[in-house]
Structures are given as C-alpha cells and as structure tokens.
Structure 1
Amino acid sequence: MNRTELKNKVAERAEVSAADADRAIDAVIGAITDALVDGDKVSLPGFGIFETRSRAARTGRNPQTGEALEIAASTSAAFKPGAELKRKLAKA
C-alpha cells in the first residue's frame, strides 16, 4: 500500500475528505518522528511500539578487499508489533 492508497483508506474509514486524511497522516507521522527524535517511545496498544535502538561502534570488513574498517555508532528506529497485531497476522 502506498501513501495515496493509505490516504484513501483513512478517508473512507473516518468518513472525511482525502485532504483531511492526508493532513491527519502527516500529523501522526510528524508526532511519532518528533517523539523518536526526543528519545521517547510511542506505544499504540493493540498495534505496537515505535522506539529507537542504539548500535555501538564496531569493526567491519570490506567484502571486496577484506580490509578492516570502523563502522560508526548509530541510532535507528524500530517497531515492535503488539499482541493483537501479531494475532491478526497469524490468522492471515
């Protein structure tokens, strides 16, 4: 599903215009992004948890040359599905 399809599905389910649905999607994505940037978790009961995970710096290898290289520490976004979502996916 792409953004347009999501926007149309939200508009249909919420019985709002496509423009209102698009603004709502932007607001939700913006709120989740802001929370993650601030280091907070976003918990949506029944759906899941958005959180950040830190990765320590480590030594890797260039697969072409075998040369060792340092991989910098990083932070990435992660999603952990909730129990209800897992149950629905298992039935699918």
Structure 2
Amino acid sequence: MTKSELIELVSQRIDVPKNHAEEIVNAVFDAMSDALMEDERIEVRGFGSFSIRKYRARKGRNPRTGDEVQVAAKKSVHFKVGKELRERVDTLEA
C-alpha cells in the first residue's frame, strides 16, 4: 500500500474529502517522525512499536575485494510487530 492509497482509504472510511484525509495522514506521520527524532518509542497497541536502534562503529569487509573497512556508527528505525497483528498475519494462507 502506498501513501496515496492510504489517503484514499482514510478518505473513504471516515467519509471526508481526500485533501482532508491527506492532512490527517501527514499529521500522523509527522508526529511519528518527530517522536522518533526525539529518540522516543512509539507503541500502537495491537499493531506494533517503533524505536531507534543504535549500532556501534565496527570493522567490516568489502564483499567484492575482501578488504577490511571501517563501518561508522549509525542509528536505524526498528519495528516490532504487535501480538494481535502477528497472529492475524499468521492465519493468512501462503
């Protein structure tokens, strides 16, 4: 699902114009982004949680040449699926 498809779905479900639904979706995404930028954890019960994971600098290898390279420290967004969503997805047929 793309952002525009999500906006369309929100527009239909709560019976509002698309431009209003777009404002709602953007406000939610902005609030989530702001929280993550403040290193806050986001938890949506039944859906999952978002948090920032920190990775230390380390030595790695260039897979093409095998040479050792220094990999810089970094931060990344981590999503952990909630129990309800995990169980719902688990019931899907392959």
Q: TM-score, normalised by structure 1?
A: 0.94
Match of 1:71 in 2: 71
Match of 1:11 in 2: 11
| Structure 1 residues 1-92: aligned runs within 5 Å | 1-92=1-92
Q: Secondary structure at the match of 2:39?
A: coil
* Letter matched to residue 27 of structure 1: A
Task: Tell me the percent identity.
Answer: 37
Output one character per residue of 1:44-84: Cα deviation in whole Å (capped at 9) or x when no partner: 11111011001111101111211111000100001111111
Kindly state the Cα deviation for residue 6 of structure 1 after the two structures are TM-superposed: 1.0
Runs of at least 5 residues in structure 1 that lack an aligned partner in the other structure:
none
CA distance in 1, matches of 2:84, 2:40: 22
Q: Secondary structure at the match of 2:80?
A: strand
Moved over 6 A (4+): none
Runs of at least 5 residues in structure 2 that lack an aligned partner in the other structure:
none
CA distance in 1, matches of 2:40, 2:26: 19
CA distance in 2, matches of 1:14, 1:58: 49
Corresponding residue pairs, total: 92
